[in-house]
Amino acid sequence: MMKITNLLVFVATFALVNASGSYYHPRIASGGCSANTCGINAKCSMTDGRAVCSCLNLHIGDPLIHCHRVECQIPEDCPSTQICSNNHCVNACDGVCGINAHCDAKNHVPICSCPPGYSGDPFKSCYIADPLHLITEAACKPSPCGVNTKCEVIREVPVCSCLPGYRGSPLVGCRHECENDSDCSSHLSCSASFKCESPCRSCGDGANCDVINHQAQCSCPTNYQGNPLTKCYPECTTNTECPRSKPACLYNKCENPCEGACGINAKCELRGITPVCSCPRDMTGNPFISCRPFEPEDHCKPNPCGENAVCTPGHDNTGKERPVCTCPSGYTGNALINCRRGECQTDSECPDNRACIDFYCQNPCTGKECAATAKCEARRHIAVCTCLDGTRGDAIIGCNAIKSRVSGYGRYFAGK
């Protein structure tokens, strides 16, 4: 049993370092035992190429800091008539048996019995028996039972049963529930009280425990930190506990929500702790998937122009590519807002005295300047300047007065 306990101490110490749930001393991990920075009353040994600190025999505590000597750790550290209680050897019979009972301690186990001439339950009370009872009680003397048992006469028949803490066939002999770990299921270990119990009690608060080959493998849960042999705690529980570089507390860990949130070449900005993805100004695409450089046709997808307007890739006065909005033929208006269809596209769609100007039927004489002494008339969609009566000459340049009655002559504008 001494070897088993030392092994448990060794495993617990080793568990301070190993990535699978065991642990080694970080200061001597690389230097080996030559550095020997284990605590007081601790020893250093190499395991799998790593330095491991463990308390000396009959010592307990933190092997990395200080191990304190104790009188005992298991019953076998004490004389056979004593047991180990709170690391002290005490009489195994103290306070165990009943009134008037006799106690004999063997192999650290108290055995209670009523003295000769007495009967009763030796664990509760023994009383002077009547002669008939003494004759009946003689059925257990000598005892027909096996080792580590007690014999009781019930209805004048000897009945064998295992002592507390023992099990087995009382007629053959009883034994502890376990003597070593191999007597227990793989997820249990043999405790100092010779019982198969979970070894996970060695893990700290909040730690996970996996039992492999009777040994507890303690580890902190994902996103938790601390020493799994003492206590595991979360990195954070609220956003206010996180730094600016990682402002969000996600699953008990401070994270930057932008990490991995956006697509290729996209940029991410935080609004509070919410990531907002967008493509850079000179790129386009789906910011959650991928952003790519602009191509000329991208400037018109979607169409940024007004209603009915046409978008074509172009350049501004700095030479930078940009969309150019224009109203299509037959439409007028602000191409950035709305293009409206005009009332005409050719003169033939207008009355004879109107011309199709800017897609509207208008007086062709509007805005046309004839000579001061001339007049403008619309004829067949064209502005015609004619010298007034009593004048003649070029109706556009100037008409001169004439003495004889000769009609002036007109002149057509070449254009509208």
CB distance 339 to 308 below 8 Å: yes
Q: Which domain holds residue 57?
A: 2-70
Structure tokens at 56: 């000396």
Collapsing DSSP to helix, strand or coil, 177 comes out as coil
What are the residues facing 215 on neighbouring strands? 212
Q: Is 19 left (phi over 0), alpha (psi -120 to 50) or beta?
A: alpha
pLDDT of residue 263: 95
Same domain, 254 and 219: no
Length of the chain: 416
118: in domain? no
Q: Look at residue 198 and tell me if it is in a domain.
A: yes
What's the distance, CA 352 to chain centroid? 81
Burial readout 340-364 (b: 16 or more C-beta within 10 A, e: otherwise): eebebeebeebeeebbbbebebbeb
| Position 105 in a domain | no
Answer yes or no: do 365 and 416 share one domain.
Answer: yes
- Within 146-266, strands assigned E span 149-154, 157-162, 166-169, 173-176, 189-190, 196-197, 208-212, 215-219, 224-227, 231-234, 248-250, 253-255
Q: Is 300 part of a structural domain of the chain?
A: yes
Please identify, among 70, 86, 117, the residue that sits at the C-terminal boundary of a domain. Answer: 70
Specify whether 302 is located in the same domain as 330. yes
Residues 205, 232: Cα–Cα separation, whole Å: 6
Last residue of a domain, one of 227, 243, 259: 227
Task: Copy the structure tokens of residue 99.
Answer: 């009134």
Q: What is the pLDDT along the chain (416 residues), one digit of tens a residue?
A: 333 333 333 333 333 433 333 335 554 445 577 766 788 888 888 877 788 888 888 888 888 888 888 888 888 888 988 998 888 899 989 988 999 999 998 888 899 988 887 878 898 898 887 665 666 667 788 889 999 999 988 888 899 999 888 888 999 889 888 889 998 998 999 988 888 999 998 899 989 999 998 999 999 998 888 999 999 999 898 999 999 999 999 988 999 999 999 999 999 999 989 999 999 988 888 999 999 998 888 888 889 999 999 999 988 888 888 899 999 888 888 999 999 888 888 899 999 999 998 888 999 998 888 888 889 999 999 999 999 888 888 888 889 888 755 444 555 554 44
Domain stops at, among 70, 100, 124: 70
Residue 104 lies in a domain: no
* Residue 201 φ then ψ, to 5°: -65, -15
Count up the domains in the chain and report the number.
5
- Tell whether 6 and 66 lie within a shared domain: yes
User: How far is it, in rounded angstroms, from Cα 209 to Cα 206?
Assistant: 10
pLDDT attached to residue 41: 86
Instruction: Single out the residue of 80, 138, 81, 126 nearest to residue 102, CA to CA.
Output: 126
pLDDT reported for residue 136: 61
Q: Is residue 312 part of a domain?
A: yes
Residues 357 and 388 in one domain: yes
Q: Is residue 116 part of a domain?
A: no
User: Looking only at Cα atoms, what is the longest distance across the chain?
Assistant: 183
Per-residue model confidence (pLDDT) at position 369: 84
